[in-house]
Amino acid sequence: MKLFPMMLSALALTCGLASAQTLDRIKDTGVLTLGFRVDAPPLSYQRPGGEPAGYSPLVCAEVAQEILNHLKLESGLDVRFVPVDTANRFEKVAAGEIDLLCGAATITLERRKTVDFSIPTFVDGTSILVRSDGPDQFAAYAGKKMGVRSNTTTKEALTNTLNQAGMQAEVMSFESHLDGIKALESGGIDAYFADQSILASLHRTSPNALNLKMSNEILTIEKHGLAMARGDSEFRLLVDTALSKMYGRGSMQRAFQEIMPGVQPGLGLRAMYVIAPTLD
């Protein structure tokens, strides 16, 4: 599977050497396996032809180049993007089937019992998408039906937000965001809860966009990172170094602008551009 041909064509560059269990496996097999979410645009999704796309795969392609700058491989490296879903992504990382998960993964302590994470790569916030004739305040949906994507931290975030607000609502889970949006459009639910970036993409690409609107309320803050196997400090240091270099030279900002042209990064993401680890 190919992604960003001009970028990945340079992945055969060789210089330097790094060693750790993940890096040793990459050297032995000649393969770097990157997992990606297929249904979380604009952060990570699959194009109709099967190719990965989005902010996180774009970031990972550049991280891959940095990783390869530490390896000596006479025959180059085969970079493979493997689609995953929300139910199996972390298990695949923990089992060594995926070297790095490049999706829309919120960093949590519970998930760190299974996998490790890089420094944050994105900061998002959850909100709601509603029909254009409905209120856009979260509190107005007390006692209503609210939808959320299954097997994500967003479902837990919705439950916590309802509890903190002292609200009761019927929460319905959906296997995909598109299923949730269809239910919203048809009146099956009254609001759909998800990360703002995902909601903005769903709204923008919906054939019924004029019948929907996004709330301006930010209900939670979600920090995303690249997931990898636990206990491999050398590989994590290499990934974090690559990301820190990208922050320093503006690559993270350019990736955001490429995937979300004309969109202003939020305060949390702008802060990340400033406080990313220094290289010295």
Mean pLDDT, residues 2-30 taken together: 55
Q: Which domains does the chain have, with CATH numbers?
A: 5-121+225-275 (3.40.190.10), 124-221 (3.40.190.10)
Looking at residues 198-205, what average pLDDT do you find?
86
Place 204 in a pLDDT band, splitting at 50, 70 and 90.
confident
First to last CA, the chain: 36
Counting residues of the chain whose pLDDT is more than 70, the rounded percentage is: 92
- Measured from the Cβ of residue 207, the count of other Cβ atoms closer than 10 Å reads 7
pLDDT digits (tens, 9 = 90+) for 142-198: 999 999 998 888 888 888 889 988 999 999 999 988 899 999 999 999 999 998 888
Percent of the chain with pLDDT over 90: 56
Of residues 104 and 75, more confidently modeled = 104
Is the bond preceding 5 in cis, omega lying within 30 degrees of 0? Answer: no
What local confidence, expressed as pLDDT, does residue 280 receive?
65
Section 88-111 average pLDDT? 93
Residue 113: predicted pLDDT: 95
Question: Does the pLDDT at position 84 exceed 90?
Answer: yes
For 200-208, the CB contacts below 8 A with 24+ separation are 200/42, 200/260, 200/263, 201/41, 201/42, 202/41, 202/129, 202/177, 202/178, 203/129, 205/41, 206/181
- Length of the chain measured in residues: 280
pLDDT top residue among 75 and 214 = 214
For residues 23 and 19, give the distance between their C-alpha atoms in angstroms, rounded to a whole number.
6
Contact partners, residue 39, CB within 8 Å, separation at least 6: 45, 46, 85, 176, 177, 178
Q: Give the pLDDT mean for 66-86.
A: 84
Q: How far apart are CA 109 and CA 121, in angstroms?
A: 17
Q: In this model, does residue 212 exceed pLDDT 60?
A: yes
Sign of CA dihedral 182, 45, 34, 116: negative
User: What digits encode the pLDDT tens for the residues 47-72?
Assistant: 999 999 999 999 999 999 888 888 87
How sure is the predictor about 262, in pLDDT bands with cuts at 50, 70 and 90? confident
Q: Specify the DSSP element, H or E, that contains 185.
A: helix 177-186
pLDDT of the residue at 14: 32
Residue scoring higher pLDDT (121 or 222): 121
Q: Please classify residue 17 by burial: count the beta carbons closer than 10 Å to its beta carbon, then call 0-12 exposed, 13-18 middle and 19+ buried.
A: exposed
Closest to 239 in 3D by CA, of 54, 34, 40 = 34
Q: Is the pLDDT assigned to residue 17 strictly greater than 70?
A: no
**Six-digit token pair at 259?**
């995937």
Strands 212-214 and 122-131: antiparallel
The average pLDDT across 12-34 equals 69
Look at residue 263 in the predicted model and tell me its pLDDT. Answer: 78
CA distance 279 to 276: 9
Q: Are 89 and 101 in contact (CB under 8 A)?
A: yes
For 209, residues 6+ apart whose C-beta sits below 8 A from its C-beta are 203
Q: What is d(CA 79, CA 158) in angstroms, rounded to the nearest whole number?
A: 36
Tell which wins on pLDDT, 169 or 19: 169
Q: pLDDT at residue 18 above 80?
A: no
